Structure 1
Amino acid sequence: MRILVLANTPAHVHLYRHTVDRLEEAGHEVLVLTREYACTTDLLDFFDLPYRAYGRHRTDGYSTLQFARELGGQFCRIGIEALRFAPDVVFGRGPFAAYAGTLTRTPVVLVLDDEPGDFNHTVSRPFADCILSPAVTRRDLGDDHYTFDGFKECAYLHPDVFETNGDIREYLDVGPDEPYVIVRFNALDALHDAGLEGFRPDQRRDLIERLSEAATVFVSDEGDEMDLRDLPARPYDLHPALIHDAMAEASLLVADTGTMATEAALLGTPAFRYRGTDDHEYGEFRELERAGLAEQFDEYEAIRDRSLEILAADDAGDRWQSRRREYVGGLVNLTDLLVDVATSRGEPGRLDGSTKRALQPRSRTI
């Protein structure tokens, strides 16, 4: 079989990387189509995945006409690559995946989560043959929509899949028992982030200064805008492929972005998310809060004070790890599921009994 994967962000690379490896090991041919965005191609190189780039993600400095031309060029390159590859099934999300499948007359599998924007779903839904999402997603996207008990991050952070790198503390230059915190600041440049605000500059500085009194602070600044020279913090500057290993060993993750907070929670690390101006209610976070693995805050002072409280609690790490074993261990290993869906050419009716039982038609679960 020939499987085409559209992976446009670092999160998409992690979602599919184990699936690509498994399919290639089984003798299938896989191609990843991607764009230059953040560290997406760096991750594809690190994990040695077969890919071709069709363009780059850029919105700043473009006029509407320039943006339209760039977007048209990307669709053209995706079409050329898809026709040349001639896939048996296409995986992805949004209009690019829908277009590739429609052009090649190939079944399209969309793997979605509970993101706030409806644009991707609205555009791609009519062209999808199979839509997969976590059961906690609140949308009903029609007869071809199936849910699974877990999160899309379970494709790479499920206990059956994730193996921590034992050298991560050495790479970070922290001691065996030295507490450290990862602070993640969102660039807020994605389509679904339009108009949102996270930590203000003064809040970022105050947060770093206060946390540094209790732990070593690493800053992961997606926008690469912060000057840390006069702040008691270090930039997180390891290869982006090691971020999950770093999160797994951390005492706490504080972020104004969703994906890394979800990832830290599934790793059993206390994960605190600052909403800022984002008032969207995510089904994933609601479930992680229910499981005691993540917490969300509307007020800056609340997340700062709660962070200091958790760093002062000697048993916090053990409590979160216990919750992870109890909750995450019972979720679906999404990599297994995606491999089976790929080899069924995106047709749930052709799945075997165990995999079929892991998928539930959305119309029966709402």
Structure 2
Amino acid sequence: MIWFDLDNSPHVHICQPLIKELERRGYTVWITAREYAQTLELLDFYGLTYEVIGKHAGKNAIKKIVGLGKRALELRAWAKKTRPALAVSHGSRAMVCASKTLRIPIVTLYDYEYTERKIFDLLSTRVLVPKCVAEVLGKPSFHGKLFGYPGFKEELYLASFVPDEDFRRKLGVREEEILVTLRPAATLANYHDARSEQLLRAFLKRIAGVPQATVVLLSRTKSQGEDLQRQFTALQPQARLLIPASAIDGLNLIWHSDLVISGGGTMNREAALLGVPVYSIFTGTLGAVDAELIRMGRLRTLRTVDEVARVKVERSTKEKARFAANSRLASLLVDEILKVKKA
């Protein structure tokens, strides 16, 4: 049995193709998940069976450490009972800690080299990262455990994406309206920089003055959404702001958007690879993946309020230059995962 632990919303999209490929090859996969953001809703959306273990501990550093230890112990108890042959995650520190104490081989994926990654690098049996990240990290220091895969992790699911041409109507947005997708930064993340919140407020002020715009806000938590809704309504009571009550088809939302503004790495990359105009308001240290997308001309960054004011908010009529996603990436990564199991 192969064990996946999913502790954040994007990990569901990323791991689902890997789980599907493993099951296609005849392997049994068990999933544990943390109650945080839209993780559980997305698991339900994909029809995946899972067991909920733990929840996010909040922003406070001490509470995070205590929460990590608590969830690691809970996962350890679960794994001791179920005895998986291999543990896989996209950056679950609790899983890595739990698995190491039980001598379960660990495969960890991540794609941002400036996250707190010591636990991953030291305790994992195998570390899978995009090739551009591997080049920055340097393979010698990993003693053979680092594998750099070609392209971007988002290709795992973008390769099979087929746009729903009726999506705008289902969303209640007219064809002539400017559809803007807004994703706040991960304020609870260990790498969060408060400057991104200043840029977000500046953009809310900017978009509130565009009467033909509809904003879809993909907040990370209920409280974050309520707070931003209050701010937006105070700026322009008549402005149109939609906050989905449940998990939404994010790829179709991006595809049909005229503009994406996001403090989240995954959504920025999805939009960039789909060829949708996208600006990052992430103000932390620029990672190798985003640097590559900027070099390709697919992603732009906003660092100051003055730059926000110059963003064009208009109906996009250009044909999208969609990136040719690698449909074989899931198979390639599963091959690497199974090398650890066989070893």
Superposition TM-score tier, normalisation by shorter sequence: 0.7 to 0.9
- Cα deviation for residue 236 of structure 1 reads 3.3
Structure 1 segment 70-149 matched on structure 2, within 5 A = 70-92=67-89, 93-117=91-115, 119=116, 121-137=117-133, 138-140=136-138, 142=142, 143-149=144-150
Q: Which amino acid aligns with 1:199?
A: Q
The answer to whether the aligner puts 1:344 opposite 2:339 as a matched pair is yes
Query: What count of residue pairs does the alignment treat as equivalent?
Result: 328
Cα deviation code 1:298-319 (max 9, x no counterpart): 12232332333xx26643xx1x
Q: Structure 1: how far apart are the matches of 2:316 and 2:43?
A: 38
- Cα deviation for residue 139 of structure 1 reads 1.5
- Cα deviation for residue 283 of structure 1 reads 1.0
Q: Which amino acid aligns with 2:157?
A: Y
Structure 1 vs Structure 2 CA RMSD: 2.6
Secondary structure, counterpart of 1:5 in structure 2? strand
Alpha-carbon spacing, 1:271–1:87, altered in 2? closer, same or farther (3 Å) = same
Please give the TM-score of this superposition, normalised by the length of structure 1: 0.80
Structure 1 residue runs of 4 or more that deviate by more than 6 Å after TM superposition? none
Alpha-carbon spacing, 1:291–1:213, altered in 2? closer, same or farther (3 Å) = farther
Q: Which runs of 5+ in 1 are unaligned?
A: 351-366
Secondary structure, counterpart of 1:23 in structure 2? helix
Identity %: 23
Alpha-carbon spacing, 1:70–1:122, altered in 2? closer, same or farther (3 Å) = closer
Q: Structure 1: how far apart are the matches of 2:265 and 2:330?
A: 21
The answer to whether the aligner puts 1:236 opposite 2:231 as a matched pair is no
Alpha-carbon spacing, 1:202–1:81, altered in 2? closer, same or farther (3 Å) = closer
- Cα deviation for residue 73 of structure 1 reads 2.6
Alpha-carbon spacing, 1:313–1:205, altered in 2? closer, same or farther (3 Å) = closer
Cα deviation code 1:166-186 (max 9, x no counterpart): 442122112345441112222
Q: Structure 2: how far apart are the matches of 1:132 and 1:17?
A: 16
Alpha-carbon spacing, 1:332–1:136, altered in 2? closer, same or farther (3 Å) = farther
Secondary structure, counterpart of 1:13 in structure 2? helix
Which position in structure 1 is the counterpart of 2:287?
Answer: 282
Please give the TM-score of this superposition, normalised by the length of structure 2: 0.85
Deviates more, 1:332-341 or 1:51-60: 332-341
Deviates more, 1:214-223 or 1:123-132: 214-223
Q: Structure 2: how far apart are the matches of 1:220 and 1:94?
A: 23
Q: Which amino acid aligns with 2:121?
A: R
Which position in structure 2 is the counterpart of 1:304?
Answer: 309
